[in-house]
Amino acid sequence: MMFVSIIFLVLVTHVGSVMPTEELKPKNIFLLAGQSNMAGRGGIYNDTKTNLHKWDGKVPPQCTPTPKILTLSLNKTWEIAREPLHKEIDNLKTCGVGPGMPFSNQILAKHPDFGVIGLVPCAVGGTKIEKWQKGTTLYNQLVDRARAARQCTSCNIRALLWYQGESDCGERDSRLYMGRLEKFFNNLRHDLDSPYLPILLVVISAGEGNFLRNVRDAQLNINLKNVVRVDAMGLTLLPDHLHLDTKSAVRIGQKLADDFLLSQEVIKPNRSPKFNNLNK
């Protein structure tokens, strides 16, 4: 009898550990795309002994896991979201803390009845905007994962969070950036049957090249409706002068959440939310 009881206890414990991800389905879906600062590099350092990049493993309280924040795994199943959020998607790089978890926790902190959030990680470090054009591997993966995420009847894609452009700061790429970005956004909205999909666009603060200003100007002046801009200028970077540290990744995530919630009061098909600056 004792042996049977032990087996029963083990089975109950095992079932209890997996039930949350099996039972919960997200209500509000957010697509996370772009390059390394969206994938997350907070807490990344160079190990001088191995000369390899490593994550320090420090998870700030704003990134605390909860059953109310799920992530779509590489195999397209819903799991409780944890840092590093992009470790399966941006798997050729070392991932750390990014904006996704603080974004979600900030929404839930301000609106506890918001509903379960489903994050869809798609960002890949070092990718130019041309790598996100329709027909490319990254674009196809983004659309495929977005469609898979909204399969449940209650699921609704609420916005795309986009943080990209650092790799487009060369002379030619920066000149072409605005046209490529607008084309990408238009194609994505069309292919997701969501012509007014809200886009939360981070205006970059650093880049690999001498034409950062051109990319920033393109992001600040993009001529599309329902685009909320959040400027990352002034946030603290890692020693590489390119990636946000953990504190800044948390701050940009929270600001994206605040501006998303604010934008929902004004977003209409014929209106565009105001530009929002982190330095205000």
Q: Which residues are catalytic?
A: 36, 240, 243
Token match 């329709």: residue? 134
**Nearest of 191, 196, 187 to residue 270 by alpha carbon:** 196
Instruction: Give the integer Cα–Cα distance in Å for 232 and 248.
Output: 9
The answer to whether residues 120 and 149 touch, using CB atoms and an 8 Å cutoff, is yes
What distance, in Å, lies between the first and last C-alpha atoms of the chain?
67
For residue 250, the Cα-to-chain-centroid distance in whole angstroms is 12
Instruction: Give the integer Cα–Cα distance in Å for 167 and 93.
Output: 15
Instruction: Give the integer Cα–Cα distance in Å for 45 and 49.
Output: 12
Instruction: Give the integer Cα–Cα distance in Å for 124 and 7.
Output: 44
